[in-house]
Amino acid sequence: MEQKLRQEAKALLEQNKVDWIIGFEPGSLKFTATPLITRDKNDTERLIISPFMVNNLADFLTGIEGRVGIVAKGCDSRSIVSLIQDNKLARENVVILGVPCPGLIDLAKIERLVGKDRDELDDITREGDKVAVKVEGKKKEFAAPQVLFDHCLACELPTPQEYDILLGEPRPPAPELEFSGQNIAKLIETPPAERWEFWKNEFSRCIRCYACRNACPACFCQRCFVEETEPQWVMPVPRWQDNLIFQIVRNIHVAGRCTDCGECERVCPVNIPLRSLTREMYSIVDELFQFKSGMDKEALPLMAHYEQEEAEDLFR
Amino acid sequence: MADKKISKKDIARLLEQWGQQFAVFAPSKDSGVAAMAEWDGQDTSFLDWYRNTIVPPKASFLPPMEEMFHFQKGEEGYNIKTPPKDERNRLLFGVRPCDARAIAILDMTFKDAYEDPYYLSKRKDAVLVGLGCTNPCESCFCTSMGVSPAESADVDLMLIDIGDEFLIEEVTDKGKELIAKTKGLKEATKEDEAKATQSKKTAYDRVTRKLDTEGIKDKLLASFDDEEFWEKTAAKCISCGICTLLCPTCYCFDINDEMVKQEGTRFRSWDSCGFPNYTKMPMENPRQEKWRRVRQKVCHKYEFYPMTFDVIACTGCGRCIRLCPVNWDITRVIESVPDKTEARK
């Protein structure tokens, strides 16, 4: 499949159908892939498809000028569609190289199960429903749901719905919602006072690196409220209260845009379980508006369109 | 005088003893992320899991956020109140040689070039107790940056793993004085010292990531205007602050006032040259484009710092590689800087 991807990507650049290719190449650490953003057709030789291509590449689309050929997993394709809905991207300016995705391996889960850091592992291989980890010469096998990212376990669209070229056989969705929602279910059952304490602790270690925001394709604002000074909505100091407000407002701003790609939580260097907030918002949006972002490019953006009939009396 | 040693199982008692004189900080995951935290009086489990912290120990002297003072508008100007100070001196236990070197590099800015009272109030009388690595990470490249993973001249005391015990090297006079007052230590034997030498060598050899920094200052100077190179280098960067905020040598901070009616507080907190707002001014932003910010970050460490202090402001701790959301790897970047130095001559 990689060969086909490389050929297609190269052809797109050669035939001047795109200006850029965005995909993945091998990363510089074990079990990593890293975004490859290039105009050079020779670079397409380095493109890969791997269970470690964790980034949501749609994040780069709003910062790039010209036509782009982009490798997209199901979640990436939803973010692309969401950007099209919001008029941040023209469909004709993007060639989607769709990749059916069997779910991405969460190295943090493997670390917890094996009791070793990722760089101490010899090998990780996906074999159907199982993931085999080789450590200190021994092979350990895990059921895929044990070691895939929570957001992958909730995936409703492993194969992009919107694509130009599909690389590989489509995969049907097979959500493992029970596995995926454990943390959130536990939080919902927690009494409010205790839950408040929980989030206070979590947000106490936020350092305001803004990786959650910057890795998020739905966070495409040119100017983020968090950096406004007049009025100053939130202090730029990493005080837990301000950190919490930042994240809550961010969450509201991406409601109806968030596709549950899980990037915010994955990139957090201090392990704040941010997806517990975004996924809950995703569910609330679905429940209230029967809306799932990034599923239909013709659908009007949930929070950015207005119809007279739906107005409350006050605004009519 | 011969080195001392201590059994690993006696570390709790050692820290307890030091705790009577110092505020002892040790590696901890209690906050949810590995960082130096005030020792809880019993837990030494870090001896098993600790390779390095995510949050670098610079946070003990330059915290992510600190209250500088409180102010209140009075009849005749402002009344200033400074927050209560922790009078105890700090002892940081378990500092890795890369991070100890980083603190020495921070000292050049906050102690030598300029006296920063906020930093110095915590740093001046602090004791650094180093702990040699036995299991460096894949992202570590300290040996390329003049640091050895189990040796350090930048701490007061250095502990070397020799099996069931640690050999204790007295590095500074401050360290020597502390050891003289410390009870329950054993004399190290010639054999122990041989073990320590071997331990240092083994750790050194386990650092596999290499970086050639020969002539990097001049190369960067010559390639400063190579926009194409910097654009390519910056392409996948998402402009988050991880690699700078969590860098043990990055020291940039921002100052903000929070004012409600007639009173308020002045804070200082970590800032990053990766953020577009870092250089935002009323009329323009000289680093609006991402590649200019990435260039700044690289050049500050590998060109400007060497120009000012004759030292590269990178100790090879590897945090920026390990924690980067897009695997932007400083070692790959430095290696790819084109050599245009000849053309300039």
Task: Please give the pLDDT value at position B268.
Answer: 97
Tell whether B166 lies on the interface with A, counting CB pairs under 8 A: no
Task: Please give the pLDDT value at position A177.
Answer: 81
Burial per residue of B195-225, b for 16 or more beta-carbon CB atoms within 10 angstroms, e otherwise: bbeebbeebbebbebebebeebbbbbebbee
Partner residue opposite A237 with nearest CB, options B31, B139, B269: B269
CA end-to-end distance (rounded Å), chain A: 54
Q: What is the DSSP string of A94-163?
A: EEEEE------B-HHHHHHHHTS-GGG--EEEEETTEEEEEETTEEEEEEHHHHB-HHHHT-S-SS-SS-
| A220 in the same domain as A208 | yes
| A117 in the same domain as A67 | no
- Cα B82 from Cα B60, distance rounded (Å): 19
Say if the Cβ atoms of A235 and B267 lie within 8 Å: yes
In the block, tokens 């409350």 appear at: A312
The runs of H, that is alpha helices, within A15-64 are none
**To the nearest whole angstrom, how far is the Cα of B168 from the nearest Cα of chain A?**
28
| A301 in the same domain as A218 | yes
Residue B230, both tokens? 């910097």
Tell whether B241 lies on the interface with A, counting CB pairs under 8 A: yes
| A152 in the same domain as A142 | no
Question: Could you tell me which of A251, A302, A303, A304 has the C-alpha nearest to residue A279?
Answer: A251
Q: Which residues of chain B neighbour A214 with C-beta distances below 8 Å?
A: 238-240, 325
Whether A63 maps to a domain, the answer reads yes
Segments making up each domain of chain B, as ranges? 4-66+77-205, 216-344
**To the nearest whole angstrom, how far is the Cα of B81 from the nearest Cα of chain A?**
20
Whether A143 maps to a domain, the answer reads yes
- Cα A300 from Cα A156, distance rounded (Å): 20
Task: Please give the pLDDT value at position B344.
Answer: 65
pLDDT along chain B (345 residues), means of 10: 90 97 97 97 95 98 97 93 92 98 98 96 97 98 98 98 97 97 96 97 98 96 97 97 98 94 96 94 91 98 96 98 98 96 74
Mean pLDDT of A76-83: 97
Specify the higher pLDDT residue, A70 or A127. A70
Mean pLDDT of A140-152: 95
| A179 in the same domain as A296 | yes
Edge to edge, the sheet with strand A20-26 lists A33-38, A20-26, A68-72, A94-98, A165-166
Segment A105-126, tens digit of pLDDT = 999 999 999 999 999 999 999 9
Asked, as a colleague might, if the bond just before B64 is cis with ω within 30 of 0, I would say no
Q: Which residues of chain A neighbour B54 with C-beta distances below 8 Å?
A: 269-270
Say if the Cβ atoms of A238 and B241 lie within 8 Å: no
Q: What letter would DSSP give residue B265?
A: E
User: Strands A94-98 and A165-166: what pairing?
Assistant: parallel
Q: Which of A124, A147, A170 is the last residue of a domain?
A: A147
| A236 in the same domain as A122 | no
Task: Please give the pLDDT value at position B345.
Answer: 60
Q: What percent of chain A has pLDDT over 70?
A: 99
CA triple B114-B117-B123, angle to 5 deg? 95
**To the nearest whole angstrom, how far is the Cα of B321 from the nearest Cα of chain A?**
8
Question: Could you tell me which of B152, B95, B98, B151 has the C-alpha nearest to residue B126?
Answer: B95
Task: Please give the pLDDT value at position A98.
Answer: 98
Whether A315 maps to a domain, the answer reads no
Residue A28, both tokens? 């510089």
| A216 in the same domain as A120 | no
Segment B81-139, tens digit of pLDDT = 999 988 899 999 999 999 999 999 999 999 999 999 999 999 999 999 999 999 999 99
Q: Length of chain A, please?
A: 316
Q: At A48, which amino acid appears?
A: I
| A226 in the same domain as A175 | yes
Q: At B180, which amino acid appears?
A: A
Q: How many CB pairs under 8 A join A and B?
A: 112
| A99 in the same domain as A110 | no
Q: A275 and A238 in contact (C-beta within 8 Å)?
A: no
Q: Which residues of chain B neighbour A239 with C-beta distances below 8 Å?
A: 65
| Residue A123: domain span | 105-147
In the block, tokens 């369109």 appear at: A305
Whether A138 maps to a domain, the answer reads yes
| A96 in the same domain as A71 | yes
Say if the Cβ atoms of A266 and B245 lie within 8 Å: no
Question: Could you tell me which of B293, B288, B259, B257 has the C-alpha nearest to residue B273?
Answer: B293
Q: CB under 8 Å to A191, separation ≥6 — which residues?
A: none
- Cα A129 from Cα A315, distance rounded (Å): 53
| A152 in the same domain as A86 | yes
- Cα A104 from Cα A56, distance rounded (Å): 12
Whether A312 maps to a domain, the answer reads no
Q: Is the pLDDT of residue A315 over 70?
A: no
| A143 in the same domain as A29 | no
Q: Which residues of chain A neighbour B272 with C-beta distances below 8 Å?
A: 209
Tell whether B307 lies on the interface with A, counting CB pairs under 8 A: no
Q: At A214, which amino acid appears?
A: N
Q: Which residues of chain A neighbour B238 with C-beta distances below 8 Å?
A: 59, 211, 214-215
Partner residue opposite B256 with nearest CB, options A201, A214, A237: A237
Q: CB under 8 Å to A194, separation ≥6 — which residues?
A: none
**Number of folded domains that form chain A:** 2
Q: How far is CA B329 from CA B179, B289, B323, in A?
A: 41, 20, 10
Task: Please give the pLDDT value at position B87.
Answer: 87
Segment B135-157, tens digit of pLDDT = 999 999 999 999 999 999 999 99
**To the nearest whole angstrom, how far is the Cα of B333 from the nearest Cα of chain A?**
11
Segment A263-307, tens digit of pLDDT = 999 999 999 999 999 999 999 999 999 999 999 888 998 988 887
**To the nearest whole angstrom, how far is the Cα of A178 from the nearest Cα of chain B?**
24
How much is the pTM?
A: 0.96
A314 pLDDT band, cuts 50/70/90, is: low
Whether A45 maps to a domain, the answer reads yes
- Cα A77 from Cα A83, distance rounded (Å): 10
